Amino acid sequence: MTTRRPSSVHIREVGPRDGFQNEPEHIPTEQKVRLINALASTGLKRIEVASFVRPDVIPQLSDGVEVLNRIDVPGDVRLMVLIPNSRGLDNALKVREKFHEAAIFVSASETHNKKNVNRTVGETMADNEKMAARIKGEGLDCAAVIATSFGCPYEGRVALERVLGLAERFAEAGATEIGFGDTTGMANPAYVTEFFTAALDRLPGVEVTAHFHNTRGQGLANAFAALEVGCASFESSFGELGGCPVPPGSTGNIATEDLVSMFHEMGVETGLSLPGLIDAARAAQDVLGRKLTSHSIVAGPVNWN
């Protein structure tokens, strides 16, 4: 079997935003700060830490500015915030010096986009194009995320061409990274192989990022499939935290520590400390007061001695 497997990958930790967002009980700001600081000490250079969504929509993330103000991370850690709309961008830019990357997003499926942000894909993209210009104008990196890229729980299949067409619009608008989200865990490794082969071919000069959920246990199989065709950028969530606000019951992202365990065992470099990530996930487990579903926090790293 031929492979385009990269020798090293970038991993963005999204637990403090994508993960925490799905927690029903409010997590005290000081605990969020402590966990982000712990993550930032593992070698992670990319962390999504806050969202500028309306506080009444996602109360869990209403302390985003306070989190940004209080965290203490190494100078080379790039912090990302999620921006749902122009009003959110207005608020984010009030603390513009506190982060480095802004993520804008759309759902590839019309129905999911409507349920998620109550706008059409066309309306969302028009706003996204304006936001991308403003983000670039501020000297920030603009990343775009396309949710339900591999299937929609309401509409079923989403055409590859539709997803790549949205990606090309984002790239033209100035996004330098595009993340493809398997929001409700409908991707499979065969389609992932086809998808990322096409995406990497069609988006030269853009960082192509894979964002998988482990809804049906296939998350790492999908990550391996993407890796094998040359994908070198991944998003994951410590402790396997996460999900999606719609539909209810959508389960977690792939666990950062399980992803890193697999990559390290394969000889793919991440620059991260697996024991450190496991410690951070165990700390999150203590804060949340329930057993998390990550495997590595139970099994630990493979011991080859």
Q: In angstroms, rounded to a whole number, what is the distance separating the alpha carbons of residues 94 and 296?
A: 39
Contact flag: residue 303 with its own copies (CB under 8 A): yes
142 is catalytic: no
Contact flag: residue 223 with its own copies (CB under 8 A): yes
Which are the contacts of 24, defined by CB distance < 8 A and separation ≥ 6? none
- Give φ, ψ of 296 to 5 degrees: -65, -25
CB closer to its own copies, 134 vs 264: 264
Give the SS3 label for residue 250. Answer: coil
Give 168-174 contacts, CB < 8 A, sequence gap 24+: 168/202, 168/203, 169/125, 169/129, 170/104, 170/128, 170/132, 170/144, 170/146, 171/203, 171/205, 171/206, 173/128, 173/129, 173/132, 173/133, 173/142, 173/144, 174/132, 174/133, 174/135, 174/136, 174/142
Cβ atoms 208, 178 nearer than 8 A: yes
Supply the minimum distance, in Å, between the C-beta of residue 86 and its own copies. 34
Contact flag: residue 201 with its own copies (CB under 8 A): no
Contact flag: residue 195 with its own copies (CB under 8 A): no
Find the part of the chain contacting its own copies (CB under 8 A) among 15-23, 33-41, 96-104, 297-305: 297-305
CB closer to its own copies, 37 vs 293: 293
Which are the contacts of 194, defined by CB distance < 8 A and separation ≥ 6? 160
Contact flag: residue 4 with its own copies (CB under 8 A): yes
Cβ atoms 135, 96 nearer than 8 A: no
Find the part of the chain contacting its own copies (CB under 8 A) among 26-34, 101-109, 124-132, 291-299: 291-299
Enumerate residues 108-167 that contact its own copies by CB under 8 A.
151, 153, 156-157
Among 78, 98, 162, 295, the residue binding its own copies under the rule CB under 8 A is 295
Enumerate residues 253-282 that contact its own copies by CB under 8 A.
255, 258, 261-262, 265-268
Contact flag: residue 217 with its own copies (CB under 8 A): yes
Binding site for its own copies (CB under 8 A): 1-5, 151, 153, 156-157, 185-186, 188-191, 193, 197, 214-221, 223-225, 228-229, 251, 255, 258, 261-262, 265-268, 293-296, 298-299, 302-305
Any idea which residues carry the catalytic annotation? 244
